[in-house]
Amino acid sequence: MPSYPHKQTYGARALNFTNPTAKSIFETLERKKSNLAVSVDVTKAEDLLAIIDAVGPYVCMIKTHVDILDDFDFSLIEQLQHLSEKHDFLYFEDRKFADIGNTVALQYSSGVHKIASWSHLTNAHPVPGPSIIKGLSSIGLPLGRGLLLLAEMSTKGSLAVGEYTEAAVRMARQHRDFVVGFIAQRRMEGIGAQAGEDVTDEDFLILTPGIGLESKGDAMGQQYRTPREAVLGSGCDVIIVGRGIYGTDPKAVNIIGAKAERYMAEGWAAYLERIASN
């Protein structure tokens, strides 16, 4: 039986991990009293920077898709790093790698984005098998980076269910130095364990997208839950919120900051309730 690490405080859980990125994520959660990651999916660098500056005080992490920027230039990275120091948060480039080991190693280290050089955390589809972890860890591990596997998705009709999810967890279990957790909709400890395998003390970091307070979904298959449902109901550790915070107007930075504060408060209240309900 797993030991339900999500009943422990974030600060205590930093000690359950050897990976330096996992440790800093849990320490940041505890220090900032925020389990909110904001996903900033905009196409102009100027909007990206303005939104990050507005939500920065309320987040533990900023999730990016740098490949959607029309005007990406590597000098942007210095500005992103400045904001992460100013506001004390980490970066998660939601790259969703899905190729053979050799190719993902090149995609992670090189090209215009050089993701491994600045993003603390990234993620990968388990579909190619363990070689994808081998490829990414050859670049990320020496830099102290961490990886999440996509064990489940928030979209209607997702194929990442059942046996696929179980196989993803088994893959992660074999690479705990680099794989720190999952993108998932619930906790993953004990899932897919082999007979006789001791999974008693395992702890995975669970980041969950598909969070919204005012809407149940979008026109393209996205499905939303509330922070309370995700953190208290399903035991997820970090909520990922995009359009629920920056809406349709990336220029409305005053509103954006206030919305981030509200999601942060809801996410943290759900966490406090969770650790109190032993």
129: Cα separation from own chain's centroid: 21
State the minimum distance, in angstroms, from the CB of residue 262 to ligand 5BU.
14
Q: Is 242 annotated as a binding residue?
A: yes
Q: Per the structure block, which two tokens stand in for 168? A: 């993803």
Token pair in block for residue 247: 């809406």
Q: Is 63 annotated as a binding residue?
A: yes
Q: Which of 51, 24, 22, 21 is nearest to 38 (CA)?
A: 51
Ligand-binding site membership of 33 (annotated): no
Q: Could you give the 3-state DSSP secondary structure of residue 210?
A: coil
In the complex, the smallest distance separating the C-beta of residue 1 from ligand 5BU, rounded to whole angstroms, is 28
Cβ closest to ligand 5BU, residue 172 vs residue 193:
172
Q: Identify which of residues 98 and 199 has a Cβ nearer to ligand 5BU in the complex.
A: 98
Residues near ligand 5BU (CB under 6 A): 39, 41, 65, 94, 150, 153-155, 183, 209-210, 222, 240-244
Indicate if the alpha-carbon torsion angle 249, 252, 253, 257 is positive or negative.
negative
At 91, list the tokens: 């970066």
Helix (H) or strand (E) holding 180: strand 179-183
Q: Binding site annotation covers 201?
A: no
Asked if residue 41 belongs to a known ligand binding site, the reply is: yes
What is the closest distance, in whole angstroms, from the C-beta atom of residue 44 to ligand 5BU in the complex? 16
Q: Which residues are catalytic?
A: 94, 96, 99
- In the bound state, the residue with its beta carbon closest to ligand 5BU is 242
Please report where in the chains the tokens 């928030």 appear, as a residue. 154
CA–CA distance, 239 with 38 (Å, rounded to integer):
8
Least distance to ligand 5BU from the beta carbon of 43, Å? 13
- CB 48, CB 20: distance < 8 Å: no
Give me the count of residues in the chain: 278
Residue placing its CB nearer to ligand 5BU in the complex, 144 or 221: 221
Residue reference for tokens 């395992």:
202
* Nearest to ligand 5BU of 192, 210 (CB atom): 210
The annotation places the binding site for substrate at: 41, 63, 154, 222, 242-243
The annotation places the binding site at: 41, 63, 154, 222, 242-243
